[in-house]
Amino acid sequence: MKKAYLILEDGHVFEGYSFGAECKGIGELVFNTQAVGYIETLTDPAYYGQIVMQTFPMIGNYGVIEEDFVGKCALGGYVVREYCEKPSNFRSQYDLDTFLKNNNIPGICGVDTRQITKILRENGTMNACICSEIPKDFEEIKNFKIVDAVASVTSAQTQKFAEGDEKLNVTVVNYGSVSDAIKSLQAKGCAVTVVPATFTADEILATEPDGILLSNGPGDPSENVFYIEEVKALLGKKPIFAIGLGHELLALADGGMTYKLKYGHRGSNQPVRETDGTRTFITAQNHGFAVASDSTNHGVVSFINVNDKSCEGIDYPEFGAFSVQFLPDNWEGARGTLFLYDRFIKMMEGEN
């Protein structure tokens, strides 16, 4: 295996070995703490523009299974401690190296992911580069910025998912990550229409939905001025359930504020407590921004993160809307909050 380098914008250089595509990758370096689910991580559009580092030491041991893909690969690089060259799994179709090559994603293995994680936890998320030679200066790395994230991953056309006997119609606004939401809604007996993020409020309402779901997606929520204005125009028109980036856009549409977390929440072990009760849920999350609690005009915080007390959910009783920062139907196994879809269905059926 050829030598490769992971270079952080603050000057840290880590030497390892190249796998995947032999090209340079620049992005925002983030870490994911899950022990399983690397296939879903690699195909989650919410990682657009980011270099993802897995904290679990061995990655690739069960190969790549295309049936488990959740979207299109959009990340800028992949970092692991130990890459398993020979997966052992009856479902495996090919190995991780082949997947990265097919998607033109550079990977690096053999680096101390524990030390790198500590650096990010102490200093915050920062830009990084995977390359074969150490550059003379790090200006290109320092100047990198994720822009037009949603526009880069949203669908270009409307898609319909229906069996023909559904009682409710849900329109999903696609900000990037929609496959899990589609499956969950279909499992609850809903016909689903997925529309591009570029749709106006009038175009969304023209699909005649009983309810609207705002999906998860990548990037800084505050840069999405157009999407925020269209969400604002939807408030009070139909029941709304918003997830991830959709949760942040809904808050901004109601006059709220968002801020960047020091190193984000990415993994399947984030504890979230409901504010009106005693239950705590272990949730899956993938986001680098959060809504400032109590910053919205009409929202009431419904969930908080146990670790850092950040906002994890907001109810908007006046508009018949609610949102969560975490992923209630995530592929990583944290499915204890699927009841949120039942709540959404009751809202569409006219129940409180």
Q: Are residues 112 and 159 in the same domain?
A: no
Question: What confidence tens digit (pLDDT) does each residue in 153-173 have?
Answer: 999 999 999 988 899 999 999
Q: Are residues 130 and 163 in the same domain?
A: no
Q: Residues near 67 by Cβ (< 8 Å), separated by ≥ 6? A: 91
- Per-residue pLDDT, 269: 87
Give the global pTM: 0.95
Q: Are residues 215 and 335 in the same domain?
A: yes
Mean pLDDT of 264-281: 92
**Residue 243: which domain range?**
149-348
Give CA 283 to chain center in angstroms.
Answer: 13
What is d(CA 2, CA 19) in angstroms, rounded to the nearest whole number? Answer: 8
- Per-residue pLDDT, 336: 81
Asked if residue 333 has pLDDT above 90, the reply is no
CATH assignment of the domain containing 109: 3.50.30.20
Of the three residues 142, 168, 200, the one that is the final residue of a domain is 142
Asked if residue 319 has pLDDT above 80, the reply is yes
Cβ atoms of 155 and 192 within 8 Å: the answer is no
| Count of domains for the chain | 2
- Per-residue pLDDT, 330: 57
Question: What confidence tens digit (pLDDT) does each residue in 28-64 have?
Answer: 999 999 998 999 999 999 999 999 999 999 999 999 9
Ordered DSSP codes for 152-198:
HHS-SS-EEE--S--SEEEEEEESSB-HHHHHHHHHTTEEEEEEETT
Q: Are residues 124 and 258 in the same domain?
A: no
- Per-residue pLDDT, 177: 87
Q: Are residues 302 and 258 in the same domain?
A: yes
Q: Are residues 174 and 99 in the same domain?
A: no
- Residue 251's identity, in one-letter code, is A
Q: Are residues 101 and 174 in the same domain?
A: no
Asked if residue 351 has pLDDT above 80, the reply is no
> Residue 338: left (phi > 0), alpha (psi -120 to 50), or beta?
alpha
Residue of 3, 27, 7, 2 whose CA lies nearest to 136: 7
Question: What confidence tens digit (pLDDT) does each residue in 104-148 have?
Answer: 999 999 999 999 999 999 999 999 999 999 999 999 999 999 999
Q: Are residues 109 and 156 in the same domain?
A: no
First to last CA, the chain: 60
